[in-house]
Amino acid sequence: MEFRFSTRATTAALATASIAFGSLGLTAQTWQTGTYFGGLNAEVVAVIAEGDGDVLAAGTFTQAFGIPCPGVARFANGQWASVGPANPAFQVTSAVVRANGDVVVGDAFGVVRRFNGTSWSQLGGTFNAPVLALAESSTGVLYAGGSFQTGVARLNGASWSSIGSGLANVFTVNELDAQATGGGIVAGGRFDIPGVGTQTIATTDGATWSAFPGANPPTGVVESLEIARNGDIIAAASPAGSTWNISRGDGTTWTTIATMIDNPVFALLELPDLDILAGGSFTTVNGIPAPSIARLTTAGWTSLATSFNGPVNSFDVRTPTRIVVGGDYTMINGTVATRIADRTAITPGTATQIFPTCFGPGGLNRLISLTTPMIGQVHRSRASNLGPNTVGLEVRGLSAPPPVPLNTIFPGALTGCSLNVSPDLTLNTPPIVGGELIIEFLVPPDTVFLGASLFQQVLAFDFTVTPFAVTSTHGLDLNFGRL
């Protein structure tokens, strides 16, 4: 059985119910400096969110909250731990977590090492310069970048190899980022592409190099870059050597989105709502005081702190409501924060259960939210106790009117079961396995949905009996927030 309704009304009504972006500002965000206890005892160059709130940190430190962990540490289940036994990594300059879970780090001595969950081992030979960047392509190929002769190398089996004839006259490759599809990699720095000339941005398919197209590309040296969700490239560069700009290229032209930055920008990140974070050692952006970290919204650039006593080198989305920020600072806004801290959401979303629910063949039917509902992020919920031989139907609505007894809609519905949300959209669910199913959907990255509610419920149909039996879960009121 399949029920489908138009989504046009859903989008329009959510927009009507939303809170205007301009009225929210960024004031609700706070710094959580005590999350990571004593933090790290030296610089953090990379932080990587690994899921479920776990964080991998890499840098030049030797201890995390007094625990020996040279160069690499993991924060999980509320505590720090070393990554594997006999960790040989130190003076780490770059890090990546591969799709298979392997941790790969590059160091200041040109060595790349991998932890496969059991032990550490070196990958390929040693480069003659620090490994400043690592990235894994969408096709699973590992790349390393730095100021060594070819600028970028790819791992082929047990050895590193250049891409084509390699880059030439390499001053540096500071950043590598993987394109979402096709196996492409984008490199940022300063180098020559043979036959093309000096560039600060280049792309490769693993076989040849190309300049990223577009008029007015970044000049000088690119220090950091980010590939946006739509495929644009965002890059920070120093055209004059003493001032820094941030620009965005869409393949046709480059547009400057920030100027008058007084010091390097070491990190860029596109957030789920499509805002841009910039981190570094700067104190101003576009002439606005912004120590070490700033955020670009549709209203312009804004500072996220009144004081940082050191640079921000890296950040990542740790959970739907937190951003982890790593660097070489020890104080934020006058509060102790030893090189790693969290920035909380502007507006946390909420998920509230709507009663009643009812008993079915598998027990009391339930629907719970597994993630905080936030714009631009995937929301996950779980329905359970749905019983064997059942098929699920997800109901989404724009309101939660008084419950309607299901047996007034379906004669075979069990007593006490009800429809708790307006059926503006119905969707066939994934298969029910063991009485459970997980529902996922992407909330659009549009601030028009802030403060708006979407109501959700699951009905379970058993077609092995006549008339077919129907039960229902709780409803959920999903009110969308913004990171």
Residue 19 located in a structural domain: no
Query: Would you state the pLDDT for residue 464?
Result: 79
Domain's final residue, options 298, 317, 344? 344
Domain check: are 313 and 354 in the same one? no
Q: Is residue 317 part of a domain?
A: yes
Exposed/middle/buried for residue 259 (C-beta within 10 Å: 0-12, 13-18, 19+): middle
In a domain, 246, yes or no: yes
Q: Say how far apart CA 75 and CA 55 lie, in whole Å.
A: 5
**Other CB atoms within 10 A of residue 462 CB:** 19
| Omega of the bond leading into 289 within 30 degrees of 0 (cis) | no
Distance set, CA 51 to CA 164, 203, 285, 430, 442 (Å):
36, 29, 32, 23, 17
3-state class (DSSP) for residue 218: coil
Task: For residues 51 and 174, state if they share a domain.
Answer: yes
Tell me whether residue 370 is in a domain.
yes
Domain boundary among 344, 376, 395: 344
Q: Is residue 1 part of a domain?
A: no
347: β partners: 482
Number of domains in the chain: 2
320 and 383, same domain (yes or no) = no
Residue 244 falls in which region: left (phi positive, over 0), alpha (psi -120 to 50) or beta: beta
Residue 453 in domain: yes
In a domain, residue 21? The reply is no
- What whole-number distance in Å separates Cα of residue 409 and Cα of residue 471? 12
Domain ends where: 292, 324, 344? 344
Burial of 298 (0-12, 13-18, 19+ CB in 10 A): exposed
Rounded CA gap, 57 and 74, in Å?
Answer: 6
Based on the fold, state whether residues 396 and 422 are members of the same structural domain: yes
SS3 content of the chain, % helix, strand, coil (to 5): 5, 50, 45
How far the first Cα of the chain sits from its last, in Å, is: 38
Q: Are residues 288 and 406 both part of a single domain?
A: no
Q: For the beta carbon of residue 411, count every other beta carbon within 10 angstroms.
A: 10
* Cα–Cα distance, 483 to 24 (Å, whole number): 12
Q: Dig out the tokens for 78 from the structure.
A: 């509320």
Nearest 5°: the CA angle 267, 273, 278 is: 15
CATH number, residue 277? 2.130.10.10
Query: Residue 433: which CATH number?
Result: 2.60.40.10
Q: Yes or no: say if 235 and 246 are a contact pair by the CB < 8 Å rule.
A: yes
Residues 241, 126 within the same domain? yes
pLDDT of residue 13: 32
* Domain limits for position 432: 8-14+349-479
Whether residue 217 contacts residue 233, with contact meaning beta carbons closer than 8 Å, is answered with: no
Q: Tokens in use for 390?
A: 């059942």
369 and 277, same domain (yes or no): no
456 & 311 share domain: no
The SS3 of residue 339 is coil
Query: What is the full per-residue pLDDT of the chain (483 aa) written as tens digits?
Result: 222 222 223 333 333 333 222 223 344 568 887 778 878 899 999 999 987 788 999 999 998 988 888 899 999 988 899 998 766 667 899 999 999 999 999 999 999 999 999 999 999 999 999 999 999 999 999 999 999 999 999 999 899 999 988 898 989 999 999 998 888 999 999 999 998 999 999 999 989 999 998 888 999 999 999 999 999 999 999 886 678 999 999 999 999 999 889 999 999 999 999 999 999 999 999 888 999 999 998 889 999 888 889 999 999 998 888 899 999 999 899 888 899 998 888 888 999 999 888 988 788 999 999 999 999 999 999 999 988 788 888 999 999 999 999 999 988 888 889 999 999 988 888 888 888 899 999 989 888 888 889 999 999 888 877 778 889 999 999 999 998
State whether 241 and 374 are in the same domain: no
User: Same domain, yes or no, for 86 and 155?
Assistant: yes
312 and 393 share a domain? Answer: no
On whether both 107 and 195 belong to a single domain, the answer is: yes
